[in-house]
Amino acid sequence: MDLALVMPIYNEEACIVQVVGAWRDTLARLGISFRILALNDGSKDGTQAALAKLAGDDRIEVINKANSGHGPTILTGYAKAIELADWVFQCDSDDEISPDAFPELWRRRAAYDALFGIRTGRTQSLARKIISAASRITVRILFGGGVIDVNVPYRLVRTEMLARILPQIPSDTFAPNVIIAGTLARGGARIYNCQVRHEGRKTGTVSIMKWKLWRVAFRAFRQTLRCRPTFCIQPDANGQHVPADNRRSAA
C-alpha cells in the first residue's frame, strides 16, 4: 500500500468513530491506497463497542489489545505498519489535530524522508510546557536539530527509514517518537516541518495528570538517554538517499 496510519486509542468512545471516519475520508479523497490501524489500548469505556461500528471497511483494521501504555501501543502499530505500506503516518485519536494539514505533507513527501507537524495554538499547563521544553533540549543535545516538535503525534515517515530504527527501540519505551525524531535528525534524514493547528480536547480526559506526569516524564528522559539507535543516510550510486547499514554506520 501507499500508507499505513497508526492511531493509538484509549478511552475515546465519544469521538473515535468521528476521528477515524475523518481520516478515512481524507485519505480516500487523496486517491491513495491505505490502511488505518486503530489500536485500542485496553480502553475501560465504550471505545471497543464504538470501534465495532467501523467493521466491514477493509481500509480500517481495529486491534483490541491489553493495556500497555501509549508508547508501547505506538510501537506495536509501527511494527505492523512497516509490513503493509511504503509510508507510515502516526496521529492521535483525541481529535486535537484534524486531518486538514495532511494533504500538504503527502504532496511534499517525495523530497523528504520524514515530515513532521509543528503544533500551533496549543494550550498547556506549566508542567507540560516544562516537560515539552526539556524534551526539545534533550533531543537537540543528544541528536542535534532538525525536528522542531519532537514528540508531535502528526508524523509521516518512509517505511525504509522507520524499519531501520524500530528494532533498536525497547518495546516498553514510553516516548518512542522522541527517540525516532532525534535519530532521524542525527542520521541525516531529509526532514520537513509543517505547522498544524492544535485544538483543545473536546471530549474525554487527559490520562496522565499531576504527579504521574512528572514520573512518566522522568522515565521517558531516562529511556531517551539510554536508547541511541544507530542510523545514518548515505547516497546510493544514483545519488538517492538511502539508510546505510546499521553495522557500518556504528563503526
CATH number of 3-250: 3.90.550.10
Q: Domain residues of the chain, as ranges?
A: 3-250
Whole-angstrom Cα distance, residue 37 to residue 85? Answer: 12
Per-residue pLDDT tens listing for the chain (251 residues): 999 999 999 999 999 999 999 999 999 999 999 999 999 999 999 999 999 999 999 999 999 999 999 999 999 999 999 999 999 999 999 889 999 999 999 999 999 999 999 989 766 555 556 666 666 676 666 666 678 888 899 999 999 999 999 999 999 998 899 999 989 998 999 999 999 998 865 665 555 455 565 566 666 666 666 777 888 876 555 556 666 554 333 32
Whole-angstrom Cα distance, residue 219 to residue 226? Answer: 11
- Which residue's C-alpha cell is 519505551? 173
pTM value?
0.83
**DSSP track, 85-119:** -SEEEEE-SSSSS-GGGHHHHHHHGGG-SEEEEEE
Write the CB contacts of 127 (distance below 8 Å, at least 6 apart in sequence): 210, 213, 214
